[in-house]
Structure 1
């Protein structure tokens, strides 16, 4: 069983990112187990905490360590990634030499209610993940524009072309993960 962590960049209840992530999870084949990784409960990273590590940090780091791969689904905040997502990446990469993200294959999905589709967040996240030594799917790139128009009242994607695209993305990601597990 391949264990895939789902990290949602938005901490807002019922966010577009969360709805999109739930749709993506349904597209994984048998043999893949998805687990949503909570980031809203993490206190802001402070190097002083490396001496007296909060239990919530230890629990978070252990969850990430147990993963085989990670999917990030995020909105864009001020042309970059949300602060909560950056904090989670920092918590998982510290203390120095204890990076729990190291080597885990990643997929980045950015979304926005605008036409820009989280382009800035997507590319800023790629930059951070490169430093964390996470191989990232380069193609297909995943930018979901006008996300609010794609989701029905039940949170399901209503546009079949979008579902088909996301299925092709998940298929490419599964192949990518297999290559990195070999």
Structure 2
């Protein structure tokens, strides 16, 4: 993996992709979990954003380690690295939770569509009360889990980014302006 692209370190370039996706994915996950119309239209798109972000987290982590090897470490960089190492678990959790929600939702939609196509009333009457409650209960549990993981992911993305920004910019406000500026 290259360490630089066009003279810029790879790490901040990849990190910005991850940050954007891990803001879109949790927002999409919360909306998909709570609002069925959003889930039908955008749930799989939010899942795709989460999956791509999850795939990019190890790239961001590896490029960050390469950059740290070049610039050296200090307590701020070490704090950022410690938090960043946990990011994969949050991203993976979001992807799994949202994926499970979308699979159950899609299967329930297909089942409903198939029952309506078969003949409407007769097929609908074949479902018992317990059979109707089970998918609804599973959807509620998955929605709660998805919202919880999405909120946790959003908070952790902020924490990692804040630690990284502090590692780079801490103390800059105390420097005198350069180049006559």
TM-score by length of 2: 0.28
The structure with the greater share of residues assigned to strand is 1
TM-score by length of 1: 0.28
The structure with the greater share of residues assigned to helix is 2
